[in-house]
Structure 1
């Protein structure tokens, strides 16, 4: 397959559909230099983007947190997604919406006079973790920590927050792992590089308090699914040493969906019945 910059198809950019290869930005785009960018990752199943409007609303919120007002309404963003999917003939796809400060009158840290731009792209994308979706992912433990909300708006889905994710995932892949698990700035278990995490012990589920990480939409969906099944969910701070006591583990995210975890560092987990049940139930829900 050709690179992501060299494909046939259409991309929605600043209000109109353009040829895929023509969807370019100037080298002095502010986001390229200062990470002034927010985005959403979504999946379309059977022609319908799961939780589409919630993703669009979160994009607006991320923009506000980054002092970047998105110049399109929620309805306009929803229409742009539909236009891209239809133009490319896609019914099952990954959808990426990205907004960023472009090139303009300012070229420095301050860029208040530069326009905020937006694009919507969609492409066919299989399982984010490949075979790990079924066998259980193997995770490294990252050397980096998720930052304090006092240092950056951690509830924004912002490009700058993913810098250490890229480095940590590269390090993990070099060790034969699928991903890496972060601790936060206090030492608590946080999340993977692009997914939230859940653990099972004695029939109950434990997941980190999202007070310094993104409270993922898939995470929220899975918690609701568990509670509807009468399964107790503990949303709390989790210490790293507790990993030894958990029996099952899985990741959640729009790209990851529900992916079982078989190993984190030296700790191992079974791909148990509850993990499989939730993964299958989520797959059914998003396609319903």
Structure 2
């Protein structure tokens, strides 16, 4: 499958039925388009099995709850929808996108409680998110924007509105020849990349930002568990940007990113070292087990 995302063959599941890909449309006055009332999940299917699929489905429902837009489906119903999409499109290795949003209805202001919450699931083939950086090490810019306080927005939700500064920061990074950008949070601590969590290595031990103002990624949690199974010490803590020169290795984690080594953040350089290669191999084996 290739080409623009609105002009492809295949099927997308929408509100209980499979519809032809090109017909999976929404009205221009959908509330989500105007007010970002949308949540989503990104998932990867390996060999016909979505990795941690039920955890993703549960997180989508929780994101909807946090955004005050209850999603009218159960985990089992979401699982059935994802299975139907993969079967209809004859996909075995794929990226799966489940999304829920407030559609068009009686309300067209900030409040939208009378507008139906709609749900869709799409899937497509998608290779390495960072391209060649998967092997060579990504180059990251440092974003000018800050991750907000949980007092300003539900940071535990995988919500579309939280990605606005991600898009702007990634565009700015790409203009500088970088693959991505690293955020600090509103306190000045190292936070995450535009769509991935970040890990650092110093003297054989791993350090990763505490998930108190960022999404606690499912891949992040998986990697921490794998590292501890490998008897590697993992510190989940606040990390100051002044610490970056003291780290020897760095990688990003996420469903799309999987495990991508980082070679540079701003002026700071990192090795694509043995621990980075080991955890990448362990993760690849784990998701395909």
Q: Shorter-chain-normalised TM-score: which range?
A: over 0.9
TM-score normalized by the length of structure 2? 0.99
Secondary structure, aligned partner of 1:284: helix
- Summarize deviations over 1:220-270 as a string: whole Å, max 9, x none: 000000011111100000000100000000000000000000000000000
Secondary structure, aligned partner of 2:78: helix
CA distance in 1, matches of 2:214, 2:203: 26
Match for residue 74 of structure 2? 73
CA distance in 2, matches of 1:286, 1:224: 13
Q: Unpaired runs of 5+ in structure 2?
A: none
CA distance in 1, matches of 2:199, 2:40: 24
- Summarize deviations over 1:33-78 as a string: whole Å, max 9, x none: 0000000000000000000000000001000000010111100000
Matches within 5 A, 1:131-210: 131-210=132-211
Q: How much does 1:2 deviate?
A: 1.8
CA distance in 2, matches of 1:172, 1:283: 28
Matches within 5 A, 1:17-28: 17-28=18-29
Secondary structure, aligned partner of 2:285: helix
TM-score normalized by the length of structure 1? 1.00
* 1:271 paired to 2:278: no
Match for residue 243 of structure 2? 242
CA distance in 2, matches of 1:23, 1:154: 29
Q: Unpaired runs of 5+ in structure 1?
A: none
CA distance in 1, matches of 2:141, 2:220: 21
Matches within 5 A, 1:1-288: 1-288=2-289
CA distance in 2, matches of 1:2, 1:250: 30
Q: How much does 1:95 deviate?
A: 0.1
Secondary structure, aligned partner of 1:263: strand
Number of residue-to-residue matches in the alignment: 288
Ranges of 4+ aligned residues in structure 1 off by more than 6 Å: none
Q: How much does 1:205 deviate?
A: 0.2
CA distance in 2, matches of 1:237, 1:285: 28
CA distance in 2, matches of 1:172, 1:108: 34
- Summarize deviations over 1:184-214 as a string: whole Å, max 9, x none: 0000000000000000000000000010000
Secondary structure, aligned partner of 2:188: coil
CA distance in 2, matches of 1:279, 1:80: 30
